[in-house]
Structure 1
Amino acid sequence: MRIMAVGLGAGAGFGAATSLVNALSSPYADIGAPLTGTVWAGAAKVLSLLMDAGWSWAALAVLVGAAARTPLQGALVGAVSLVAATGAYYATDSLVADAGGGLVVWCVAALLFGSVLGAVGASTRRRGVAGLVASLTVPVGAALQMVVLPPGPALLPLSPPAVLARTVVWVAAALGAAWALHRYWTEQRSGRRAE
Structure 2
Amino acid sequence: MKIMVRGLVFGVGFGAATSLVNALSSPYGGLGMPGTVWGKAAKVLSLLMDAGWSWAALAVVTGWLAGTLTRGALVGALALVGATVAYYVTDLFVWEAGTDLVKWVLAGLPLGLVLGAVGAAIRRPGLIGLLAALTVPVGAAVQMVVMPPRPHLTLTPAIVVAEVIVWMAAVLGVGWAVYRFRTQRRAVGVA
Same fold (TM over 0.5): yes
Using the TM superposition, give the Cα deviation of residue 154 of structure 1 relative to its aligned residue in structure 2, in angstroms. Answer: 3.5
2:7 alignment counterpart: 7
Which residue of the other structure, out of 74, 78, 85, is the alignment partner of 2:76?
Answer: 78
Q: What is residue 104 of structure 1 aligned with on the other side?
A: 102
> How do 1:1-195 and structure 2 match up within 5 A?
1-32=1-32, 35-156=33-154, 158-192=155-189
TM normalised by structure 2 equals 0.97
The one-letter amino acid paired with 1:42 is K
Residues in 2 aligned to 1:173 and 1:139: alpha-carbon distance in whole angstroms: 4
5+ residue gaps, structure 2, are none
Q: Distance in 1 between matches of 2:98 and 2:156?
A: 27
Deviations 1:137-160 (A, max 9, x none): 00000000000000022322x211
CA distance in 2, matches of 1:76, 1:167: 33
Secondary structure, counterpart of 1:67 in structure 2:
helix
Higher alpha-carbon deviation: 82-91 or 147-156: 147-156
Aligned length: 191
> Which moved further from structure 2: 144-153 or 66-75?
66-75
Q: Deviations over 1:41-82 (max 9, x none)?
A: 111100000000000000000000001232111111000000
Which range is displaced more, 142-151 or 90-99? 90-99
Shift of 1:38: 1.1
TM-score (norm 1): 0.95
Structure 1, unpaired ranges of 5+: none
Inter-partner Cα distance in structure 2 for 1:2 and 1:99: 33
Tell me, in whole angstroms, the C-alpha distance in 2 between the residues paired with 1:98 and 1:145. 29
Distance 2:97 2:162 in 1: 24
Structure 1 segments (4+ residues) deviating >4 Å: none
Counterpart CA distance in 2 for 1:139 and 1:173 is 4
Question: Amino acid of the residue matched to residue 182 of structure 2?
Answer: W
Moved more, 12-21 or 67-76: 67-76
